[in-house]
Structure 1
Amino acid sequence: MRYDDLADYPCSITRPLVILGDRWTFLVLKASFTGIRRFNEFQRTLGISRSRLQDRLDRLVEHAILVKQQAPGSAHDEYRLTEKGHDLYPILMAIKDWGDVYMAPDGPPVHYQHRGCSGEAHVRLECDSCTSELTARDIELAPGPGLLAYHAKD
């Protein structure tokens, strides 16, 4: 299968990877969540080339993950997370949780604390029906309407 074909593949993991599947895109998103909004701030913070940064920002805008708008009271543009963009935060937190366990031998480099009580933020996978905490061993796959519609096109 060609890379371009993956955007139409009936899989809710594969399709987002076509948009998000490289490290620079996730690092741009991480910076966005810390409040970075301007092109030069992204470049200075990430050390990314201008052309690569522009490509990633354009892709995120194209897919309505970021919106490009004029900064209030300024002639400069800024990039802001949309609701769709904010919904990616648990993915970054899941990567952070994994990194803290397997790639931080001296302990987490940063604590992500709840502003309300200073507790540590983590991602938890749970059943939407019974609220039991789940692991991969608890999951089984069943065809959904998107897969049935995809096969109906054949």
Structure 2
Amino acid sequence: MRYEELADEPCSITRSLVVLGDRWTLLVMKAAFSGVRRFNGFQAYLGISRSRLQDRLDRLVEHGILVKQPAAVGAYEEYRLTPKGHDVYPILMAFKDWGDAYMSPDGPPVHYRHRDCSGEAHVRLTCDHCAAEITAREVTPEAGPGMLAGTV
């Protein structure tokens, strides 16, 4: 099965990976959160080929994660995060937390600080009912309406 064919699977994780699941796409998103907006800026920041970068930017625009628009100043276009794009931030921060814990033997290379109090930002999994912090051991997957709709 080709990667793109997985978009029809009744699984939100799988469908998300079809859009976001390669390293260049996540690095483009990291650059966007770092304030990069222009094509040449992404290319300089990442050192990625023009064709690969264009492919990733086009996919992010197609899925409404970035929007391409005229720049406020100058005669060029820029890529801006949409609300859907901003919702990718916790995903990147989860990668950061995991990388800090397991891939940074000398400590975190970057601290992401809360602007208001200077505390450090982390991703936590919590229950939407009781607000308890939970782990994978405390979660039980069960079929939802998207799964049931595909079986009728």
Runs of 4 or more off by more than 2 Å in structure 1? 1-5
Length-normalised TM-score, structure 1: 0.97
Task: Give 1:150's aligned residue.
Answer: 150
When the two chains are superposed, the root-mean-square deviation of aligned CA atoms in Å is: 0.7
Matching of residue 91 in structure 1 with residue 97 in structure 2: no
Deviation at 1:4, TM superposition (A): 2.9
Task: Give 1:139's aligned residue.
Answer: 139
Deviation at 1:140, TM superposition (A): 0.3
Task: Give 1:4's aligned residue.
Answer: 4
Paired with 1:45 and 1:131, the residues of 2 have a C-alpha distance of 39
Paired with 1:2 and 1:44, the residues of 2 have a C-alpha distance of 31
Task: Give 1:42's aligned residue.
Answer: 42
Q: Deviations over 1:49-93 (max 9, x none)?
A: 000000000000000000000001311000000000000100000
Question: Which secondary structure does the structure 1 equivalent of 2:12 belong to?
Answer: coil
Task: Give 1:130's aligned residue.
Answer: 130
Task: Give 1:21's aligned residue.
Answer: 21
Paired with 1:94 and 1:79, the residues of 2 have a C-alpha distance of 24
Paired with 2:67 and 2:4, the residues of 1 have a C-alpha distance of 24
Mapping 1:46-125, distance limit 5 Å: 46-125=46-125
Q: Deviations over 1:74-132 (max 9, x none)?
A: 11000000000000100000000000000000000000000000000000100000000
Paired with 2:36 and 2:3, the residues of 1 have a C-alpha distance of 31
Question: Which secondary structure does the structure 2 equivalent of 1:80 belong to?
Answer: strand
Question: Which secondary structure does the structure 2 equivalent of 1:18 belong to?
Answer: helix
Q: Deviations over 1:9-56 (max 9, x none)?
A: 000100010111100000000000011000000000100000000000
User: What code does the residue aligned with 1:95 have?
Assistant: F
Length-normalised TM-score, structure 2: 0.98
- Counting aligned pairs with the same residue, the percent is 72
Deviation at 1:3, TM superposition (A): 2.4
Deviation at 1:2, TM superposition (A): 3.5
User: What code does the residue aligned with 2:61 have?
Assistant: V
Q: Which runs of 5+ in 1 are unaligned?
A: none
